[in-house]
């Protein structure tokens, strides 16, 4: 059976690699197919807790808000934490305390395998930019309900060794022991967690936090990143009281406008065509809605998007652990690769991400722990577009430094005329001297400086340049390690993606009650110039293009850019709030 490869922070390109790359992509994706909630009741139905951050954007304050909105009883047994909705609230330090008094509120839906913490940089930069112009706005970064399953205790300790000991060695932190990652059999309630409940959750959260519908219509801007744009489309077209004749409850009546970050606001994946492998489109392979739902209900199909290696809850946790080192001491020599215990997932993930060629991948030599790397270089190796081979995980945070650098030809070689979209178009590089010099990380704003070695590929092409680097590695590390709500989403509900892929089925089509709602409000579309959708978004959307940006950069880019111009994503979002 073909299975969806729609995982990560957005849909991936449908063009496939060949040979070992195609086989590896198949291995990575094995096992990953792709009523109204009652109102919150009783006391303590809402909590708000300040978030301490080392971000240099000090004119913005952050808090984590949790609102009790229980799921319908039909969902069955689930952890108590999953009857709460959560979001990160960003606002000006000298702005109003009440959200209702803000000038505007941007409400953002994350993409696939993405949590609220991923919005930290763009949220802070947008709020700060609007404040410079005399407006006090708020930015709400939503966590989907499924993020309730994540245990951040080890990462919240602030120490890498403590975190590794917590997640791998059974050691307690604050009296708590890690219970392990949830398996498919424990996630029966998630079989029903699809697009209908996702947009209902957003509506219930908005009405709980901002009870006045007229205020929501005047002040709230609805949007998202990657798949979050499609979720926003369904929200805009939805009807929440069951009566299409009454429109005050319609999704589009909760928003004054829409924003799309490297995506489009739509109720289908049509604008993202080419981002999904053609042979994994569920309707085309004959799986109807009922068959898919039965598979989810019985557990025959995985209830969350996961893979045996690389893309699973354990690996998502490792990103946060790597971020800890880069936050606390970026220039210190990392011991994380050697301190982590070895298992199949860790070993295979390390080989995939840090093998120079197919021989190194197959033999495991040289391994990542054979190289001397700083903590910042470890994080860069995991997420930089010149290192990580998966395009939907890429950001532009700088480049390796400190020793010989060569082409990374695995899983695909540099310089091909048709670089597979799954792997991105940036040339990949890797340190070349194990047991040698300490490899450091040249941050985004030091690329192109007079002391930059300007490393080149074997064909003479520069691996990168100042115009291709936009994200501060320290800011990225803070987003991964400091946020109480995760940067990633460890348990993404499969039903959310299968519902959208089966958008022509009667069960999903009925949710689009107000199709004109998608055009009922102004829309801002911002695209990553080197991202997944580059050159493929309809021109009539008049998109703003952020040159040199990758898919994640629209969320993580630094306020100060190498070209001396204002950061385009936050600048345009702030302008959109006027």
Helix (H, G, I), strand (E, B) or coil at 440: strand
Helix (H, G, I), strand (E, B) or coil at 304: strand
Contact 105, 90 (CB under 8 A): no
Q: Which fold has domain 46-147+187-271+498-576?
A: Rossmann fold (3.40.50)
Q: Pick from 167, 76, 33, 14: which is nearest to 495 by CA?
A: 33
**CA separation for the pair 86, 69 (Å, rounded):** 10
**Structure confidence at residue 454 (pLDDT):** 96
**Structure confidence at residue 246 (pLDDT):** 95
**Structure confidence at residue 34 (pLDDT):** 25
Q: Pick from 437, 459, 494: which is nearest to 144 by CA?
A: 494
Measure CA of the first residue to CA of the last residue in the chain; give whole Å. 50
Report, as ranges of residue numbers, the positions in the chain whose pLDDT lies below 50: 1-42, 273-285, 419-420
The size of the chain, in residues, is 578
- Contacts of the segment 277-284: beta carbons below 8 A, 24+ positions apart: 277/5, 277/14, 277/16, 278/14, 279/2, 280/2, 280/3, 280/4, 280/5, 280/6, 280/34, 281/501, 282/4, 282/34, 282/498, 282/501, 282/502, 283/501, 283/502, 283/504, 283/505
Q: Report CA torsion sign: 334, 338, 339, 340.
A: positive
Whole-prediction pTM value?
Answer: 0.90
**CA separation for the pair 164, 171 (Å, rounded):** 9
**CA separation for the pair 475, 557 (Å, rounded):** 9
**Structure confidence at residue 531 (pLDDT):** 84
Kindly state the DSSP code that residue 60 receives in the 8-state scheme: E
**Structure confidence at residue 30 (pLDDT):** 34
**CA separation for the pair 62, 88 (Å, rounded):** 7
Which sequence spans correspond to the domains of the chain?
46-147+187-271+498-576
Helix (H, G, I), strand (E, B) or coil at 202: helix
For the stretch 368-415, pLDDT in tens is 999 999 999 999 999 999 999 888 889 999 999 999 999 999 998 998
**Structure confidence at residue 271 (pLDDT):** 58
Contact 380, 393 (CB under 8 A): no
**CA separation for the pair 459, 466 (Å, rounded):** 20
**Structure confidence at residue 272 (pLDDT):** 52
């Amino acid at each position: 059976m073909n299975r969806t490869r729609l995982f990560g922070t957005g849909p991936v390109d449908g063009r496939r690699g060949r040979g070992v790359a195609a086989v590896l992509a198949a291995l990575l994706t094995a096992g990953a197919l792709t009523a109204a909630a009652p109102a919150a009741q009783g006391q303590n139905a809402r909590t708000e807790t300040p978030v301490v951050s080392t971000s240099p954007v000090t004119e913005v304050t952050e808090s984590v808000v949790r609102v009790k909105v229980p799921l319908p009883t039909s969902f069955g047994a689930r952890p108590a934490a999953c009857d709460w909705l959560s979001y990160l609230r960003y606002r000006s330090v000298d702005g109003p305390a009440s959200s209702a008094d803000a000038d505007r509120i941007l409400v953002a839906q994350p993409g696939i395998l993405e949590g609220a913490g991923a919005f930290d940089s763009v949220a802070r930069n947008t709020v700060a930019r609007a404040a410079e112009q005399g407006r006090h706005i708020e930015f709400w970064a939503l966590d989907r309900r499924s993020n309730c399953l994540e245990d951040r205790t080890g990462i919240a300790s602030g120490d890498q060794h403590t975190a590794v000991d917590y997640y791998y060695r059974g050691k307690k932190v604050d009296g708590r022991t890690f219970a392990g990652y949830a398996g498919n059999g424990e996630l029966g309630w998630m079989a029903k967690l699809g697009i209908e409940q996702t947009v209902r959750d957003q509506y219930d959260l908005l009405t709980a936090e901002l009870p006045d519908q007229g205020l929501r219509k005047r002040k709230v801007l609805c949007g998202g990143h990657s798949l979050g744009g499609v979720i926003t489309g369904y929200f805009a077209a939805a009807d929440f009281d069951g009566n299409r004749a009454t429109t005050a409850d319609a999704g589009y009546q909760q928003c004054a406008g829409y924003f799309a970050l490297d995506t489009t606001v739509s109720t289908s994946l049509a604008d993202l065509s080419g981002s999904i492998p053609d042979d994994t489109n569920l309707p085309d392979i004959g799986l109807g809605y009922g068959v898919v739902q039965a598979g989810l209900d019985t557990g025959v199909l995985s209830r969350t998007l996961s893979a045996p290696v690389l893309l699973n809850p354990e690996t998502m946790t490792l990103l946060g652990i790597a971020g800890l080192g880069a936050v606390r001491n970026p220039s210190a020599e990392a011991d994380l690769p050697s301190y982590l215990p070895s298992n199949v997932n860790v070993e295979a993930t390390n080989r995939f991400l840090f093998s120079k060629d197919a021989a190194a991948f197959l033999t495991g030599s040289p391994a990542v722990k054979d190289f001397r790397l700083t903590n910042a270089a470890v994080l860069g190796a995991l997420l930089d577009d010149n290192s990580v081979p998966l395009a939907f995980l890429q950001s532009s945070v700088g480049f390796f430094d400190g020793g010989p650098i060569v082409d990374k030809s695995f899983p695909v070689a540099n310089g091909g005329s048709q670089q597979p979209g799954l792997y991105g178009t940036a040339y990949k590089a890797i340190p070349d001297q194990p047991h040698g010099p300490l490899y450091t990380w040249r941050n985004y704003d030091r690329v192109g400086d007079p002391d930059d070695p300007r490393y080149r590929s074997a064909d003479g092409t520069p691996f990168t340049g100042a115009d291709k680097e936009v994200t501060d590695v320290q800011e990225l590390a803070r987003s991964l390690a400091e946020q109480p709500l995760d940067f990633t989403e460890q348990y993404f509900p499969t039903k959310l993606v299968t519902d959208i892929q089966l958008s022509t089925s009667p069960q999903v089509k009925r949710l689009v009650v107000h199709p004109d709602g998608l055009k009922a409000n102004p829309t801002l579309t911002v695209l990553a110039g080197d991202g997944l959708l580059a050159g493929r978004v309809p021109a009539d959307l008049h998109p703003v293009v952020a040159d040199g940006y990758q898919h994640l950069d629209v969320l993580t880019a630094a306020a100060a850019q190498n070209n001396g111009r204002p950061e385009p994503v936050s600048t345009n979002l702030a302008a959109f709030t006027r």
